[in-house]
Every structure is written in structure tokens, then in C-alpha cells.
Copies of this chain bind each other. A is one copy, B any other.
Amino acid sequence: MRIALDAMGTDGAPAVEVAGALGALEELDPEHEIVLVGDRQILEAELARHENPPLSRLTIHHAPDRVLPGEKAASVVRKKPDSSIVVALRLQQEGEVDAVVSAGSTGAIMAASLIILRALEGVDRPAVGTLLPTAAKPVLLLDAGANVDCKPLHLAQFAHLGHIYAQDLMGVKHPRIGLLNIGEEPEKGDEVALETHHLLAADRTLNFVGNIEGREIIRGKCDVLVADGFVGNVLLKFYESVAQFVIGLLEGALRDAQMTLDLDRLLGVLDYSEYGGAPLLGVNGVSIVCHGGSPPKAIRNAIGVAAQAVRSDMVTHIARELAALKTARAAG
């Protein structure tokens, strides 16, 4: 297995990416390789700062250009053909690598993945899945930001994408699918939520557990939470900031009391980097998106997620599920 890592994506590129890749290689099977995609000269200089990097498993693929913040996502493939994101995705499309990990702009990765890898048949809109930390195991929220103005059929497809992801990567046999809504009752919500509830409730292939209210999101009632990308994105960003806010209050309280407390476990539960990146689900390939502010640990874990997606043959499973769904729709 070979995984391409866009080495120019994080705020601390390429040092963060190289450190993350080296960490990942220690955990991956010995026959697995990582391809660093970026400017060869810069990457060679960065690698030289590490002692004895395992160069047989960590190669460089030259990509002289990079996508800059604020660039229009839709035109990245056309305008930046030699950028690290685009080159990495082309390597996957050509079969040179099995997966891509990037901490570049989500919009650019999404747009380039769609153009280069293409959407799987039966998927109108690929979705970004994100794991939200909870007291128990994390919940997969999708879509977390790529798709706004979703129609009920799109949300129903998200449910199936999440279903497979939860089976293949979260180890959940019968994933409980929830629909984000403003009330528990089926008749609650806006027009899209009402119709989506109806679709999901009628779908015998899913373990649909009904509507999930805001207060239930992190209370372990579902494994997969389906939402429009607008509210999904707002929620995800809000969650990060609320956790930071409350921890800040706590640190102030500890300081005032002249106390010290080891917050590692506390912060560990809320640490997004534990979960690695967010998968782009529904494209014909493995494309994992990381936060631009990712530390090496997040990159390492995202590479682990990518490897697991390849190992479990997630894309084939998704393709099979979506094809069956399409057949069922056409028949019913």
C-alpha cells in the first residue's frame, strides 16, 4: 500500500507533514509506503533534519506549486495543475498510490477530488465526515461543510456513506443513524428534515434511530449523524470553540486557586488530532482532509485512517451500497 501525503497543506508545512509521516511509518506495516508530494528541494532539506529517515518507505514526488489560502477551490485543478494537492490526487487516479491525505483547503481538496477521482455512481454529492468527540466513542457527523442546500435525497445518501464508514472504520456492525433535527418527533423540523426523516424511516437497509436534537449529539444516541453541510459546519466549528472556551475558564479558575491539575486526559478526550482527518466520502478513492492547524500527531493519525480505509476496501463497499440503493429506488 502507498499513501500520498500532500506535504504543503498545514500551517507548519512541510515540517509538520514530514514529522507526521515519520510517526505513521512506525505504526504502518513494513511493506507500506508514504509518498511526500511537494517541492523536492524543500522536502529533501526537511528530511535531512531527521536522523536516518527510512527513505525506502518515504519517497518524494515533486510538485513545484501549492494552493494558497483564498484561492478559488473550483478552479484549482485547471489553474494549479502542479500543486501538491492536484498532483497527489492524480497519483491516486493513475493507480500510483492508494490514498491521499491533505491538510490543504477543504474546498480545494473537495473540488479536486471530485474532478480527478470523480464521484461514485449513485452519489450526487460526496460529503465530508467528521468525528465529534463524546464521552463514549466519537460520532461521525456528515456533511461537515462541503454541501449546502442539500435535498432529502442527498442526505439519504449521506446516511449510506456514513453507514459504510462506521462499519469499515469505526468497527460498528449495525451503525445507528440519526438525523439532526429540532425535535424528536418525526413531524418536527424544516421541510428538508421532514422529508429526509420519511426517506430514512422507510429505508430497511439502515438502522435509523430517528431525529437527534442538539442536546443529544454528544450523548451517544447514534453513531452517524446526518445533517446539511451548513449546520454541520457551524456545529463542528462551534464545538471546537466552546471546548476551548470552557477549558480557558477552567484554567483561570485553577490559576485563581493557585492549583495545578494535569489536564491531559481532559484535553485528550476533546483532542481532534486523535481522530486524524475527515474522510471525503462518496468519491472513487480515499481522500482524507486534515485541519490546516494540524500537529504531526493528527497527520500521523490521518495516515492511519487512510490505511484502514484502503485495507477495509471501503470504497468498494460504498460503491456496492450506493449501487444497491439506486437499484432499489428505481424498482420502488
Contacts and interface: CB of A to CB of B under 8 A. Distances in A.
B261 A182 contact: no
A68 interface: no
Contacts of A263: 253
Contact of A216 (B134, B231, B241): B241
Interface stretch (A32-40, A77-85, A264-272, A273-281): A264-272
Contacts of A269: 249
Nearest to A232: B182
B237 A234 contact: no
A275 B265 CA distance: 32
Contacts of A243: 242, 246
| Chain copies in complex | 2
Given A190-B149, A193-B230, A215-B240, A253 B245 contact: no
A237 B261 contact: no
Given A238-B238, A253-B266, A266-B253, A245 B135 contact: yes
A48 interface: no
A304 interface: no
Interface residue tally on A, bucketed by range? 35 or more
A101 B46 CA distance: 65
Contacts of A265: 253, 256
A214 interface: yes
Dominant SS among interface residues on chain A: helix
A217 B245 CA distance: 11
A269 B242 CA distance: 12
A233 to B, nearest CB: 4
Nearest to A134: B245
Interface in A173-187: 180, 182
Given A189-B230, A214-B233, A246-B247, A241 B257 contact: no
A262 interface: yes
A153 interface: no
Nearest to A236: B214
Contact of A257 (B134, B214, B235, B261): B261
A213 interface: yes
Contacts of A219: 241
Contact of A235 (B191, B235, B245): B235
Nearest to A189: B148
10 contacts: A135-B245, A148-B182, A148-B193, A214-B235, A214-B236, A214-B238, A214-B239, A235-B235, A250-B266, A261-B261
Given A193-B230, A253-B262, A257-B261, 12 more contacts: A135-B249, A148-B193, A182-B230, A213-B237, A216-B241, A218-B245, A246-B246, A249-B266, A250-B266, A253-B263, A256-B265, A259-B261
